[in-house]
Amino acid sequence: MSSRSVPTSGGGRLRGAWETARTLIYAVLIALVVRTFFFEPFNIPSGSMKPTLLVGDYLFVSKYAYGYSKHSFPLSLGPFDGRIFGGEPERGDVAVFKLPRDNSTDYIKRIVGLPGDRLQMRNGVLHINGTAVTDERDGTFSDEDLANQNIPVVRETLPNGVTFDTLDMLPNGSLDSTREFVVPEGHVFAMGDNRDNSLDSRTTNVGMIPMENLIGRAEILFFSTDGSASLWEVWRWPMAIRWSRLFTVIH
């Protein structure tokens, strides 16, 4: 017995196209929900958080860590002001926030001051509420952007016990000694770990950060590249990836 092919009707093709479109719409909606309420990916374009974060790092930020504001939504189009389900950040958190000056540029820094804190840099040493933060030399850092110059690393320990490395590129840098800052209610004070090469709360360009501007807490690195391979240079990708940094927790 011979078999005959059954022609596909125009209605069948339309149903197939609609099923494909519906699947894509569901995928986009799920991605938007995850990005808005759970995790959002970010990449690091500058060296202000060295040695903790390097240019070319890609990380996930937990959106639920500090609750939600209008800035949690794409293009900051949230339907409300203030924060809901909010939790205060802790000293030592690495956080992404919207720059208060324009409420649109994403910045990432380490939170070192909470509401009511008094902060001051004195000869390169951070003081919180009149007490110097514990710091000690912890080797050197070779900066791939500065011809592998060996830069002193200083390990700091905040009052709550959080420990992390900072860079001391200039012993007498312009931000090594500042006036005393008092963090107002509803704000935090943030600094880059690369202390001499960071626009942060010590400068008028950034200043105090409203809680509402916090987007989330940096949690884990999922990818990192040193930039030595272009997108089309597939054969060089394995050498450009910083394998040791993949899937490391951010402290």
Among 48, 69, 201, 224, the active-site one is 48
> Which residue blocks in 38-52 are alpha helix, DSSP H?
none
Q: Respond yes or no: is residue 48 known to be catalytic.
A: yes
Contact 240, 229 (CB under 8 A): yes
Q: Respond yes or no: is residue 109 known to be catalytic.
A: yes
DSSP three-state, residue 87: coil
Among 50, 72, 109, 198, the active-site one is 109
SS3 content of the chain, % helix, strand, coil (to 5): 20, 35, 45
Instruction: Count CB atoms within 10 A of the CB of residue 138.
Output: 15
Q: What angle do CA 98, 205, 43 make, to 5 degrees?
A: 40
Any idea which residues carry the catalytic annotation? 48, 109
